[in-house]
Each structure stands twice: as structure tokens, then as C-alpha cells.
Structure 1
Amino acid sequence: MAAKREKRGLGRGLSALMADIEPSAEPAGETAPVSRRADLQIPVEKIHPNPDQPRRSFTEGALAELAASIREKGVIQPLILRPDPEKAEMYQIVAGERRWRAAQLAQLHEVPAIVRDFDDTEVLEVAIIENIQRADLNPIEEAAGYRQLMDRFGHTQEKLAEAMGKSRSHVANLLRLLNLPEEIQGFVRDGQLSAGHARALVTADDPLALARKVIAKALSVRDVEKLAKAPVSQGSSRVHAAPAKDADTRALEGDLSAAVGMKVSIEHDEADGSGKISIKYKDLSQLDDIVRMLNRG
């Protein structure tokens, strides 16, 4: 019987995982030299993207620029691949999907590649780290990658922050963005809103309306922070508006929302110190997640 593969915790052996990934100083043009040699030349039709790749958007202009460089100089930095776990003689991209797409635009039939036997956790980890190193992920994509590592593999914010060389607050702040409506997340992906704008919108009563106002009037992050904290106007339909929550309560709501991946609301009575915590779930699957978290606790 084959020996069971030892489970590798996040952050252990990162240097070994990343030894094959040398970020180019000029990724758009692929002009920087690399220290690694390709193991193989792999036909492009035998390669397909990793479905869990955190990066989802590839701009046509950047791909065309890279394809022009590849036509002239070839693919300088090899792709990192693994044997496809489900299809024989096929390969899955661990790192380098942009190069693979650009190589096809340049009409290359083969690309240089390093093939490694990564498991699912390592594939996702390397894909996230490589993109973060290259500053290729927008804030929503980066947050989604962190969320994948937490939901699928049980890693904590602390472990993620340590392994990625980020602060815990950086990870927590990004995860909060995933609590925003999908339309606002789209604004961030498209570059219409910055991560700072989006963080300020998390605590707003009507984040989508405020997001549209920010874009229309080109408001600053400080402007958004002030508007998000502003009390409801007198013309509002609310007859008995709840008192505004203090900054600490809002920050705690954000931390808890990021930790559980759902909207958390805290109602605290200053008079006697009592209160309640509400968790809003969108389907039965999320309710099951809450039950599992409480049972695990």
C-alpha cells in the first residue's frame, strides 16, 4: 500500500513551492531573465486553466502587448503546470495562464513548462501568491483567493497573513469587501472604485446607492467615510431610526463578517451592557455552515 501523503499546512515549505516562480521585473513584456529552465515543451492544446484560479479578468490590451513580445522573443518564463488529476496526458495551469493565453494569440504551438506534482491546496496557494507578487489581482480577486483558502482548507486569517507576508488587518479588510453587493464588487474589479472606497462602503446603510454617487461625483475615500457615517436624513421614511453605531462596533461587525463570510450585525444597549448578534444567511448551505461553526466551537 502506498504511503499516505503527509498533509502540508499553509506556510510550510513556501520557499520550496515558490522556487520555480521567479516574478519578472517587467511582466508585461516578459523581458527579465529567469533562473529556471523548462522541463518540457508542452503543446498548448494539452494545457487548460485551473478552475480555481483566483484571477478571472485578462485585459485584451495587456494580452496583445504580451503576445507581441512573445512573437519576438518567445515565452521567456516557463509556465508552472501539474498533470491533470482527471484527464490523462493533459496538464493544468498552476501559474502562467496569461502567458498561455498570449502564446495562443502569438500562434505558438508549444510553450516551455515546469511540471510539478502539486496537490489542490498547493495549486491554489501558488496561484494566489504568484499573482499577488506580480500585483496582477484586483482587490476582489485577491479577497476571493483568501476566502477560498479559508473555506476549502480551513486556514485562519492569521495563518494566511503570515504565509503571504501580509498583515492580518490587510487580509481582514480585503475579506470585508466580499460582503458588499455583487454590483459594487464589479465596480472594484473594473477599477471604478478603489479598495479604500469599497472598505468605506461596507458600513454604509445603502452601500450601492452611495457607490453610484461616488462614481458619478468622483468622491474621495474621505468623502465616502463621512457619508457612510452620516445619520439618516429627516426626509427618510424611517420614523424611529436606530442610534448610530460607534466606530468600534462597526469595526467589530466587519471583523466578524469577514470571519464567517456572512453579514453580521451587533445591537448593543449601552444602558445595561446587553445586546444581540445577528447573522444573515442567504441559503440553507450558509445556515449549515453556521451550525458547523457553532458545533466546532
Structure 2
Amino acid sequence: MSDDISKRRLGRGLAALIGEMDQPLPSGDTQRTVNPDRNVPIEFIARSARNPRRHFDESELQDLAASIRQHGIVQPVVVRTVEPSRYEIIAGERRWRAAQLAGFTEIPVIIRDVDDRTALELAIVENVQRSDLNPLEEALGYDQLIAEHGYTQNDLGEIIGKSRSHVANSLRLLKLPDPVRDMLAQGSLSAGHARALVSTSDPSGLAKTIVSKGLSVRDAERLAQNDIKGQTEPQRQSVPETKDSDTLALERSLTDALGLDVKINHKSSGGQIRISYKTLEQLEAVCKLLERA
């Protein structure tokens, strides 16, 4: 329990740290600059392979580089020391890239002595607050914290200031096949479109239909629901009672709420609810919810 409490405190501290040292200046405000620890030669700074952000728009980088040439780097890049006189970026890779395009030989930095876990948390918080991550990058960042550092979905919600259901819905996107992930990363599909496809029989084919026809999220949900209903048709001869649309909708609603796979087997005389989990942390989270009910 003490570890859970420390993670929640750390999450609030991370958000405060980003707010204090790495927020963009309000328009016209020339006084609220953040003083760097030092200026560092740009070749001594490397990007982090753990940064959840992978895509940087080239035209936006060029615009930022033009601004940096005129005004300099107003907000320092946040780094950590990896070896003597060598640094790794925690937050601010976009400014680092633009500074290189602008021809700068050194940039202002703020140095933070943090471990791998905290560096990843800082990178995720910074990018989520700025809405810089596409939905797939966000989901991969959450998954990395869970896999490498044992975080629960509740922990992540505390850290990033989002609901646990937001984290659960983000993680569901990782169940999609690569072609759909690519469309999501490129912006052809929204997160709402993609979530509707998770339980379908042919996510890639349906995704192409959604993109080619320009369907709304609501249209995509109807398309997915029809596909799911079609999956139950071959079972009707051997299964006395099939699931109606209300039961399927309730299953999806509970799956989204818990972030776990939920199945409902309903009969006239009663029924069962089955919740599937993969880790002890997920089981513990379900138990806590049931105890509070």
C-alpha cells in the first residue's frame, strides 16, 4: 500500500514539476522565463529511446526553428545526466530538433537527477498535457509503464490526471492489428473509430471502409456492432439462447469501465458475469471495486 501512495504523490509532483518548469509562455508575456541550469553543446544531448512521442511534423519543426532563430529558446530543454558531460532528453525533444534546424550549437537545459521510471513518467505527462501524443503513442507509453514498472491503471490515472477508464480505453487500442495502428498513428482514424473495431472480426477491412467512406464515430460503432452480431450467427444452431444487442452493449460498457474483458451469460433462470484478468494487480483492482460496491 505504501508503494501505491508514493506513486500517487509522485504523479501529482510530476504534474507540478512540468507546470513549473516547462509550460509555454502566455502570449505577450516576456517576464516569466525559466532560468536554465546551464547551456550545453547540442551534440552532447541525445534523444531518449523511451520517449513515447515518435512523430514530429516537419513543417511544424521548420516553423519552430524560424521562431528560435528570431527569439531564441525561451523554455529550456529538460535533461538528465547519463554519463559525464552527456545528457538524455526528458522533455523538450521538439525544441532540441528545431534548434538543430536553426543552426544552434548549444541550448539551455534544466538538469534533473531521475531514474528510468520517473523520466518516462515525465515524458508522458509533458506530452499528454500538451496533447502532443497521437492515441497510439499514448497507449504505448501507458503499456510501457505497466510492463516495466508494475503500474496499475488507477496509478496511471493519478499520474496523468485522467480517469482510469481513459487509460483502459487507450490500452485497448493495442489489441488492434498493425494496419489499423498505422492508420491511427497517421491520423486517418480517431481513437473513437479505432476503439469500435477492437472486438470485430476484420478490424483492418472495416478500418479501410471507415476511412474510404469518411464515416463518423457513430457510424463506425454501428458498423462494428453489425459485424459482432454476424459473428454469433453460426453459433445459433448449437446455442439455445444467443446474446441480444443489449447484452452485447452491456459487455462492451463493462469492459470499457473496468479495462478488462467482461462476458455475460444470461438465461431466464439467472446467469453469470465473467471478468478476465492477466495480472495480480488487475485482480486486486477488481476486488477493491467489489468491496466498495
TM-score category, normalised to shorter length: 0.7 to 0.9
Give the whole-Å Cα distance in 2 for the aligned partners of 1:137 and 1:38.
Answer: 25
Bigger mean CA offset, 157-166 vs 134-143: 157-166
Contact 2:34 2:74 in 1 (8 A): no
Structure 1 partner of 2:140? 144
Distance 1:116-1:229 versus aligned 2 partners, 3 A rule: same
Summarize the Cα distance change of 1:231–1:145 in structure 2 as closer, same or farther, 3 Å threshold.
closer
Distance 1:23 1:142, change over 3 A: farther
Deviates more, 1:174-183 or 1:49-58: 174-183
Partner of residue 250, structure 1: 252
- Cα separation, 2, equivalents of 1:267 and 1:81: 49
Query: What residue in structure 2 maps to residue 58 of structure 1?
Result: 56
The residue aligned with 2:187 is 191
**For the residues of structure 1 that align with 2:70 and 2:147, how far apart are their CA atoms?**
43
Report the residue type matching 1:44 in the other structure: I
2:65 and 2:98 in contact (8 A); partners too: yes
Alpha-carbon distance, 1:199 to partner? 1.6
The answer to whether 1:43 aligns with 2:41 is yes
TM-score normalised according to structure 2 size: 0.80
Task: Find the residue that maps to 1:246 and give its secondary structure.
Answer: helix
Deviation at 1:273, TM superposition (A): 2.4
Letter in structure 2 aligned against 1:188: L
Residue 206 of structure 1: aligned partner? 202
> Percent same amino acid at aligned positions?
43
CA distance in 2, matches of 1:24, 1:248: 45
Higher mean C-alpha deviation, range 268-277 or range 9-18: 268-277
Task: Determine whether 1:90 maps to 2:86.
Answer: yes
Contact (CA 8 Å) 1:81, 1:114: kept in 2 or not?
A: yes
CA offsets 1:179-219 (integer angstroms, 9 cap, x no match) = 11121111111110111111212232321111100000000
Deviation at 1:269, TM superposition (A): 5.2
Q: 1:31 to 1:68 in 2, by over 3 A?
A: farther
Aligned letter for 2:110?
I
Query: What residue number does 2:291 align with?
Result: none
Match status 1:270 vs 2:267:
yes
| Cα displacement (A) at 1:174 | 1.3
Letter of the structure 1 residue corresponding to residue 49 of structure 2: P
**For residue 14 of structure 2, what is the aligned residue in structure 1?**
14
The gaps in structure 2 that reach 5 residues or longer are 237-241, 288-293
Unaligned runs of 5+ in 1: 1-6, 280-288
- Whether the 8 Å CA contact 2:200–2:227 is kept in 1: the answer is no
TM-superposed deviation, 1:109: 0.3
TM-score when normalising by structure 1: 0.79
RMSD of equivalent CA atoms: 3.2
- Alpha-carbon displacement from aligned partner over 1:238-257 (angstroms, at most 9, x marks no partner): 7446756511223344566x
